[in-house]
Amino acid sequence: MEADEKGTGSAADFIASEPPLDGMAGAVRGCRGCGLYARATQAVFGEGAAGARVMLVGETPGDKEDLAGHPFVGPSGKLLDAALAEAGIDRAQAYVTNVVKHFKWRAAPYGSGRRRLHDKPSAYEIGACRPWLEREIAAVRPVILVCLGATAAQAVLGPSFRVGRDRGRFFDSDLAPAVMATLHPSAILRADDRAAQMDGFIADLRLVAERLAATGPEERG
Ligand code: URA
Ligand code: SF4
């Protein structure tokens, strides 16, 4: 990537006015809204049922997702699948996406056995990519939006949101009737008390499952 590669500043420059979901997944490949496209293998768009009542939002695709072209298929995805199953949420009935659609990475130290390490997206990149997330939400109209980790939570609920303090609670939002933030699967994978963190994650997802069950099938965002 050239040092001055900044993209146009907004994914909106690459989105048709009323795109259907499958059309967006194609259009995102041509997005130059920020510079991240330049070093990623491919864009990783959201996936799942078009009529999904729950949408899960992560941060950025990881190494495995970048290579596969699908969200949450690496180690974090495996943990997410296990937690969803424990909570009684069928991933096939959910829509899964990320706030940023291209993998951001830095070179791993020589000899570490890895090549690319995840790097946190900047506020500029998150802001540039946000139009894709907004269009996904508008197309899927989930009843509940679940933010996985602080990056997603702050992108959706505002910069003052603190996952440690406010996780597991439902908030109103312009984007969906209910928004909850919880832990990011990769934070659980890194935690010393992994089992306890996993229990907390599953408990939050059970609240989502209960609220979904209590919401009529006709209700949408
Ligand atoms: N972490 C994320 O936030 N999203 C993915 O798709 C994979 C890992
Ligand atoms: Fe576009 Fe988002 Fe990729 Fe940046 S990260 S180029 S805004 S799709």
Query: What does the pLDDT read at residue 5?
Result: 82
- What CATH code would you report for 11-214? 3.40.470.10
Spans of all domains in the chain: 11-214
Look over the chain and give the mean of its residue pLDDT values, rounded to a whole number: 93
For 84-109, what is each residue's pLDDT tens digit? 999 999 998 999 999 999 999 999 88
Ligand 2 probe mutation, 6, 100, 119, most atoms within 8 A of CB? 100
Question: From CA 11, how far away is CA 31, in angstroms rounded?
Answer: 6
Query: What does the pLDDT read at residue 20?
Result: 77
Cα dihedral 33/74/54/194 (nearest 10): -120
Ligand 1 neighbours (beta carbon < 6 A): 58-62, 65, 71-72, 74, 76, 98, 186
Q: Is the CB of 31 under 6 A from ligand 2?
A: yes
Q: Is the CB of 155 under 6 A from ligand 2?
A: no
The backbone torsions φ and ψ at residue 182, rounded to the nearest 5 degrees and listed phi first, read -140, -165
- Ligand 2 centroid to Cα of residue 211, in Å, is 32
Q: Is the CB of 100 under 6 A from ligand 2?
A: yes
Query: What does the pLDDT read at residue 50?
Result: 83
Question: With contact defined as beta carbons under 8 Å apart, do 75 and 110 qualify?
Answer: no
Indicate whether this model's pTM tops 0.85: yes
Range 154-165 burial, b when 16+ CB lie within 10 A, else e: bbbbeeebebee
- Ligand 1 centroid to Cα of residue 61, in Å, is 4
More confident residue, 114 or 141: 141
Residue 68: both structure tokens together: 């596969």
